[in-house]
Amino acid sequence: LLTSYEDWPKEIITEQKLNESYYLIRGKDRGRPAWHYILVPISKHADLRALPSGSDIDVTNFGSIIKYRNNRNEIKHVSGWGTYPPKIMENWIQTHYSLAALDESINLAYTNDDIRLCIMQRAIPQQKIGVSLLYFAPKQFHYVKLTADLPSSLARRAGLKNYDRIIFLNGLNIENDTHNKFYSRFDTTRHLPIQMLVCSPATYTYYKTNKKQFHINLPTIQHLTPVFATSTSESHTEIPAVSVDNDSFYAVRWENSDIVSTVSQSAVFKSPEFTHVNDICYIETKGQYRKGQIIAKGLFLWINIIQKEFHSFSGSRSDYSKVDPLLMNLYAPFVTRLIIPTNIYCDFKQFSNLHELVLCIENSKQFSQIQPDIIPNLTHLSFMLGSKFTLPMELIWNVFSNGFPSLRQVNLSHIDVSLCRSWPTSPSLQFVSILSCKPMDIPVILASCPCLQHLQVHISLNDNDDIIISSLLLNHPLRRLTLWSDYTELTSDVIDSILTYTPNIECFYLQTIYSMSLIDLAHGLANRLNYLSQFDCYITEMLARNCRINNLTDLHQIHPCFYRIQVIEENDDFRILATK
């Protein structure tokens, strides 16, 4: 035990190499509980993790026990008796040691500069880009680790590579930032495009060894083409079927300038479905990429211009009827994506090739037109109306009963299926996002979508009814599930009942308040989901300090997917656990 100041560590003796990670090994030594902190080369990570629980091992076969010098000037091993190490020692290790910053695939031999400027644009602020942001404490640098099972993530498409060293974030040099400060910069600018200047490990080592400085104007920087997400998914941020309407225009005010320009929708590096007025995006102009703010948008931007001019010069009220119908007839057959951001009435019958429809304003006349005989080729349907707006039952029926036989993706507001417990199946639906529904509605949705691959559900209503288990639905092929609530607790029984229908889930995101120990929940998830390969969460654990598990190691060891769970906020009443 570290009973006095003299016993505390003051100096590092064991230096960590780039290809080593620190591990806490807990077990029994001659019948007594004991623990060791060791440095393990990345080549032995798999062997160590593959050991069954309770195996007899010689820890030195996997790495070296970390040593330190205490305030008595004695050299000690970071080892001890007991189940857990003292908090002082745990904090000291986490401050001075890190995960490995390269693996066997990385060559540190320098040949030429590999410095890349990567630009990414999320569809929504909470979307993940497919990286872990890490910090190598011994050498004080930031680096990225790509999420292995997200081959189409924003990070990969933008040109980021495993173990890239991060130099600049959004134009600021972050080399001297602490990990917490850097992560705060990253997390507080989620609504903005991400501009990240990175370099390979070999380039970073060469620059530091030769005392060369990184700066944003280096001639060897590769300016890669910006990428943007066309889906809210983290794994498939690019949907090849999305078409771009080159005849739509945005009004843009350029960064650090009062100049306003009109640019084509296709020049803006953000999906039109997720682009809003006041958004800041990267825009291609004259072969370069500039940052600008959208100040006006929409398929009918030219209509708005006509209206403003009409109002300015005549003082009269302008409306949609002022638009030349011949001009409308000319463009309408070429429109495949339609975004309605205003109350201007629009006749959908004009758009014979319409595939994607986004409604941003509540308008009963527009709702009445969303009919299979009016828009027969609809593939994507989105309502940006918030979680409190309840969609008409007839519209919900058409969505989930194969009324639109080509419909693949829907983003819905609040739905209520209490009056309908079954629909004809809609086999074309692959992605469904619902901003508000009850847990008991989920089985009905799954039953109507036998080919659904990704379901996002926000539970925002209290629901005292039990979920009725049907043996006909217990093996749905759903692969991705996003389940979250803000103020409604999702109990373990509710979560388990939902997962009863979906045993094939590979990726699961859970956000809720929770009033029980997470250990039982984690065991339930591990036992229920045999194919789970990625777990992300943001859970507010409503337990007093003396009722919580103090060390997350037991939680991490239940399943490899739980290893990234960390405490990000804590007080006497609750703590927040999230994946990073």
pLDDT in tens, 232-245: 765 555 443 333 34
Residue 92 has pLDDT above 80, yes or no: yes
- Identify the DSSP state of 487: S
Residue 486 has pLDDT above 50, yes or no: yes
Which residue, 321, 302, 298, 318, is CA-closest to 310? 318
The whole-number average pLDDT for the span 492-517 is: 92
The whole-number average pLDDT for the span 219-244 is: 67
Q: Which residues pair with 508 in a beta bridge?
A: 481, 535
Q: Which residues pair with 117 in a beta bridge?
A: 197, 223
The whole-number average pLDDT for the span 410-437 is: 81
pLDDT over 90 for what percent of the chain? Answer: 45
User: At residue 505, what is the residue type?
Assistant: I
pLDDT band at 306 (very low <50, low <70, confident <90, very high): very low
pLDDT band at 62 (very low <50, low <70, confident <90, very high): very high
pTM above 0.85, yes or no: no
Q: Is 527 helix (H, G, I), strand (E, B) or coil?
A: helix
pLDDT over 70 for what percent of the chain? Answer: 85
Which residue, 361, 311, 371, is CA-closest to 340? 361
Q: Is 494 helix (H, G, I), strand (E, B) or coil?
A: helix
Residue 471 has pLDDT above 70, yes or no: no
- Asked if 12 and 139 touch (Cβ cutoff 8 Å), the reply is no
- Asked if 310 and 286 touch (Cβ cutoff 8 Å), the reply is no
- Asked if 535 and 580 touch (Cβ cutoff 8 Å), the reply is no
Choice between 549 and 67, residue whose per-residue pLDDT is larger: 67
Could you write out the DSSP letters of every residue in 114-144? -EEEEEEE-SSTT---SEEEEEETTTTEEEE
Residue 429 has pLDDT above 70, yes or no: yes
Could you write out the DSSP letters of every residue in 419-485? T-S-----TT--EEEEEEE-GGGHHHHHHH-TT--EEEEEE-S---SPPPP-GGGTT----EEEEE-
pLDDT in tens, 6-44: 888 999 999 999 999 999 999 888 889 999 999 999 999
Most distant CA atoms of the chain, gap in Å: 94
Q: 518-528 and 492-501 helices cross at what angle (nearest 10)? A: 10
